[in-house]
Amino acid sequence: MLYMSTRGRAEPKDFAGVLLAGLGSDGGLYMPESWPRFSAAELRALRGLPYAELAARVIAPFVGDCIAFADLQAMCRRAYAGFAHPAIVPLVQLDSAIFALELFHGPTLAFKDLALQLAGHLFDHVLAQRDERVCIVGATSGDTGSAAIEAMAGRDRVDITILHPEGRTSEVQRRQMTTVTAPNVLNVAVKGNFDDCQDLVKAMFADAPFRREMNLSAVNSINFARIAAQIPYYVAAALALGAPDREVAVSVPTGNFGNVLAAWAARQMGVPVQKFIVASNRNDILCRFLNANDMSVRGVEPSLSPSMDIQVSSNFERLLFELLDRDAAATEATMADFRATGRMAVPDGKWQEIRREFSGFRLSDEGTLAEIARTWRDAAYLADPHTAVAVAAAREQGPVGLPVIVAATAHPAKFPDAIEQAVGFRPALPPHLSDLYERKEQYERAPNELAAIETLVRNFANRNR
C-alpha cells in the first residue's frame, strides 16, 4: 500500500513513511492510492471477534508489508489491554433507533485514545526498525493533546510538544495534559484559538529546514495512521447492528472532520453506511457548507463543547480530494484559494454529490444543555456536551428505519461544569484520575508566533537529545 499527497507534489510513501512524516512535504495530506475493500463474506467473518483482533484485520491492508500481521496484532492487543470496558467500544441503546458508541473507555476518557494508544506502539516499532528519533508536534482543541501525551510519555525515541489554546479547553482537559511530568513531554498554552495552534503546527512542517533539523512528526488526524486506527470502531458497531446485511447511519460530533472521515472510509471499505450526520456547535462551518454550500471562515467562539471550537477543518481536504476525482492540482488550487479568501468555492454539482451522503446539524449551548437533560431523563444516560450534540442530530436527521450510531466521544466527567448546569450534579472522575485537581501543572505560555514556538520546540528537543 502506497500513499499519495492530496496536493500531488510530495513523494509517495508506504505506511511507515506516512506515520513518521505526518504531513506531506507539499502541505498536503496523505491518502491511500486506493481503498481496500472487504466483501460481505469477509465482513461477516469479523463478527464476534474481540475488538483488538478486529482492529488488526481492518488496519492490516493499510499497513501492507511495513509491519508483519503478527506484530500488528500484538500491538493492537497491547494498545487496548488497559481500557476500562471489556468490549473496548460498547454500544448502548438510547431509544428504538439511536445507539451510543462509547469511545471514551481509554486512559484519557476520549475517543482519541483508540487511535493514539495504538500509534504509540506503531511509532516505537518503526523507529526501532529505523534506529531514529522524532520530535512530534501537535495541536489540540481539548482531547487530542492528553491522548497523545498519554500514548507517548516516557518513550525513548520520541519527544512530544502539544499546543493548546490558552483558556479554551475544559479544566479537566488541560490538567490531563499539563500534569504529566515525563521528560519527553512539553505543553504550550498559545494565546489564540485552536485554528491558530493548528496553523502553527502546519507552519512548522512547511519550514523545511526546521522540519529536517527536528525530524518532525505529527499525531493530529493530519496523520493518516490516526484515521486508519479509527475506522475499526465504525466497522465493529455496524457489524453489531446487522451489517453488512443491514444499512446504518452515523452521527458524529466533529470539528476537524477526522472522526467522520473515518466513518466514510469504513463505507469505502464495504460497510453499508447510508448517511453521515455531521454534528456541530455554534462554530458551524461544516454545517453551513453541507446545508448551503457556504464554506466560509468566521471567528471561533468558545462553547460548552470545546473540542468542536474549530473553523478550519483540516481533514475536509481529504474528502475534497476524493470529490474532485483525486485531482491533486485542483485540490491544491482550491485550498490555496480558501486560505487566501477564507471561502471555499465548491462547484454546485460536486456539493450536491456530498449532499447525497452527508447532512449538517447545528446546536447552540442552550440546546446542548437541554439535550443532556433530555437524554438523562429519558434514557438514564449521561452524555457529554459533544455526544449530546450528536444525539440531538440523530433525533433530527436520522433516516427512518435505520439504526443510527452516535459517536460518544468523551466521558461526561471531562465536562463537569456543563453536566452540572444540565442535570444538577457533577460526574465523578474515574479512580485513576480522582486526584487530578491536586496534581501540579507544568506548561509554557507563548504568543501566536511561529518563531517563538519553534524556539521552544528546538530547545526542548535539543535538551533531551
DSSP 8-state symbol, 130: H
Mean pLDDT of 257-273: 97
**Tens digits of residue pLDDT in 423-446:** 999 999 999 999 999 999 999 999
Kindly state the DSSP code that residue 294 receives in the 8-state scheme.
-
* The predicted structure's pLDDT at residue 209: 97
Q: Are strands 273-280 and 358-362 parallel, antiparallel or unpaired?
A: parallel
Annotated active-site residue 112? The verdict is: yes
* Helix or strand run (H / E) with residue 202: helix 194-206
Burial class (CB in 10 A: 0-12, 13-18, 19+), 423: middle
Mean pLDDT of 174-196: 96
Q: Exposure pattern of 327-350 as b/e (b: 16+ CB <10 Å)?
A: ebeebbebbeebeeeeebebeeee
**What's residue 141's pLDDT?**
85
Question: What CATH number is given to the structural domain containing 245?
Answer: 3.40.50.1100
Question: How far apart are the C-alpha atoms of 207 and 34, rounded to whole Å?
Answer: 30
pLDDT over threshold 90, residue 465: no
Full residue range of the structural domain in which residue 335 is found = 91-107+224-423
pLDDT at 431: 93
pLDDT at 9 over 90: yes
Residue 234 included in any domain? yes
How does residue 220 score in pLDDT terms, banded at 50, 70 and 90?
confident
- pLDDT tens string 40-56: 999 999 999 999 999 99
Identity (one letter) of the amino acid at 375?
A: T
Rg (alpha carbons) of the chain, rounded to whole number: 20
Q: Give percent of the chain with pLDDT exceeding 90.
A: 97
pLDDT score recorded for residue 143: 87
Query: How far is Cα 33 from Cα 227, in angstroms, rounded to an integer?
Result: 15
For residue 414, tell me if it sits in a domain.
yes
pLDDT above 70 covers what percent of the chain?
A: 100
**Per the domain annotation, does 374 fall within a domain?**
yes
Could you give the 3-state DSSP secondary structure of residue 176?
Answer: helix
Handedness of CA 142, 145, 146, 147 (dihedral sign): positive
Q: Average per-residue pLDDT in the chain?
A: 96
Which residues 6+ apart lie within 8 Å of 415 measured at CB? Answer: 170, 172, 304, 305, 384, 385
Query: Is residue 42 in some structural domain?
Result: no
pLDDT of residue 290: 96
DSSP 8-state class, residue 433: G
Q: What pLDDT score does 142 carry?
A: 80
Among 112, 202, 275, 414, which one carries the catalytic annotation? 112
Total domain count, the chain: 1
Q: 456 in a domain, yes or no?
A: no
What is the Cα 227 distance to its own chain's centre?
7
C-alpha–C-alpha distance, residues 349 and 347, integer Å: 5
Our measurement of the distance from residue 225's CA atom to the centroid of its chain's CA atoms, rounded to an integer in Å, reads 11
- Give tens-digit pLDDT for 383-401: 999 999 999 999 999 999 9
Least confident of 325-329, 429-433, 445-449: 429-433
Residue 174 is assigned to a structural domain of this protein: no
Contact present, 393 and 112 (Cβ < 8 Å): no
Helix/strand/coil (H/E/C) assignment for every residue in 133-168: CEEEEEECCCHHHHHHHHHHCCCCCEEEEEEEECCC
Q: Would you state the pLDDT for residue 464?
A: 85
Residue 322 pLDDT level (bands cut at 50, 70, 90): very high
Does 289 map to a domain? yes
For 71-85, the pLDDT digits (tens) are 999 999 999 999 999
Establish whether the linkage from the previous residue to 347 is cis, with ω within 30° of 0.
no
Confidence of residue 187 (pLDDT cuts 50, 70, 90): very high
pLDDT value for 31: 98
> Has residue 206 been placed in a domain?
no
- How many C-beta neighbours within 10 Å does residue 99 have? 22
